[in-house]
Amino acid sequence: MSHHIVEVGDLHYTYPDGHSALSGVSFRITHGETVAVVGANGAGKSTLLLHLNGCLVPQSGTVRIGDFPLTRKTLQHVRRTVGMVFQDADDQLFMPHVYDDVAFGPLNLGLPPEEVDRRVTNALSTVGALHLKDRPPYRLSGGEKRAVAIASVLSMSPDILVMDEPTSNLDPKSRRQLIELLRTFHHTVIVATHDLDMVLDLCSRIIVLHRGTVAADGPAREILQNDELLDSARLERPLRLQGCPVCSPRESGPRQGFTPDGDESP
């Protein structure tokens, strides 16, 4: 499944005002991995994620999505492969009604109306937001907007799901539902987050960004117990690894999904 590989090589990015946000980031994510990108505020997580679906194009270095290097020419293909949930749901929702926002992508793919309707209904049901379908997105609460933004990506059936702070603004039940949903997604998932308890639940691997560089890249459990590393990246152990007597017994562990090929994911 090389077409689901995400490969970033020596990626640099400097914003137009001269601020350097990424200074030589490299990693390779294979099909079916669930990877967290963590780091302090301003570490470069969003800037990195914006490169993964071509919202930003490399100034220096490479981004490869499956068989294609990301260039202006391959943008359309990359955006069809990578579904991106933005940090701010308002960046994603622009239609007069929720239904139209979730239908927008499938309609653009040229799918027949019945298939579009099926996808919209499925995606909204999956995030528990079907009851919002006739509401204007700008009148929704922050959590409702986020659920709809996620549905608008799921309706495209992406092979690679990239999410920037997916649990922010979600109430505990919606957060739990999202984690359960992501555990059943059998392709590649990349999440940038400060929610390290979610990481512990969901991700087998963590990439730690620090001031635009990769400070660590390895198994989630190892990284989440490395206090020195966490401290240097301004992070803290998730509550469940702090010896919390209330939450420790509920510990479950990262997603153990199966790829469509039947291989167990790492």
Note the residues at the interface with ligand ATP (CB under 6 A): 15, 17, 19, 21, 39, 41-47
| Residue 262: CB minimum distance to ligand ATP, A | 36
| Residue 110: CB minimum distance to ligand ATP, A | 34
| Residue 145: CB minimum distance to ligand ATP, A | 17
The residue among 43 and 179 lying less far from ligand ATP, judged by its C-beta, is 43
| Residue 194: CB minimum distance to ligand ATP, A | 6
| Residue 113: CB minimum distance to ligand ATP, A | 38
The residue among 89 and 103 lying less far from ligand ATP, judged by its C-beta, is 89
The residue among 31 and 145 lying less far from ligand ATP, judged by its C-beta, is 145
The residue among 50 and 103 lying less far from ligand ATP, judged by its C-beta, is 50
The residue among 87 and 126 lying less far from ligand ATP, judged by its C-beta, is 87
Comparing CA positions, the residue from 232, 189, 190, 191 lying closest to residue 213 is 232
